[in-house]
Amino acid sequence: MPTLGTSRHLLVANNMSSTPSTSSALRAVFGDKLREGDLLSRYTSSRIGGPADYFIAVDTADELANAVKQARHFGLNHFILGAGSNILVSDWGYRGLVIQNRARLVSITEEGNRFIVRAESGAGLPTLARQCMLRGAAGLEWAATVPGTVGGAVFGNAGAHGSDIAATLRMATILQSNGDVRDWTLKDLQFAYRSSALKRGEAGIILAAEFELKRDDPKVLQEKVETFITHRKRTQPPGASIGSMFKNPKDDHAGRLIEAAGLKGVVIGKAEISPIHANFFVNLGNAKAHDVYSLIALAQSKVREKFGVNLELEIELVGEWGGQC
Contacts 24+ apart (CB under 8 A), 235-238: 235/276, 235/277, 236/276, 236/277, 236/280, 237/274, 237/275, 237/276, 237/277, 237/280, 237/282
Active-site positions read 194, 244, 314
- At 7, the pLDDT band (50, 70, 90 cuts) reads very low
- pTM (2 decimals)? 0.90
Q: What structural domains and CATH numbers belong to the chain?
A: 20-101 (3.30.43.10), 106-229 (3.30.465.10), 238-318 (3.90.78.10)
pLDDT by residue (tens digit) across 166-202?
A: 999 999 999 999 999 999 999 999 999 999 999 988 8
pLDDT value of residue 238? 87
pLDDT by residue (tens digit) across 209-235?
A: 999 999 999 999 999 999 999 998 998
Contacts 24+ apart (CB under 8 A), 303-311: 303/257, 303/258, 303/261, 305/261, 306/260, 306/261, 307/257, 307/260, 307/261, 309/249, 309/252, 309/257, 310/3, 311/3, 311/246, 311/247, 311/249, 311/254, 311/257, 311/258
What is the C-alpha separation between 13 and 9, in angstroms, rounded? 10
pLDDT by residue (tens digit) across 112-151?
A: 999 999 999 999 999 999 999 999 999 999 999 998 999 9
pLDDT by residue (tens digit) across 250-306?
A: 999 999 999 999 999 999 999 999 999 999 999 999 999 999 999 999 999 999 999
- At 3, the pLDDT band (50, 70, 90 cuts) reads low
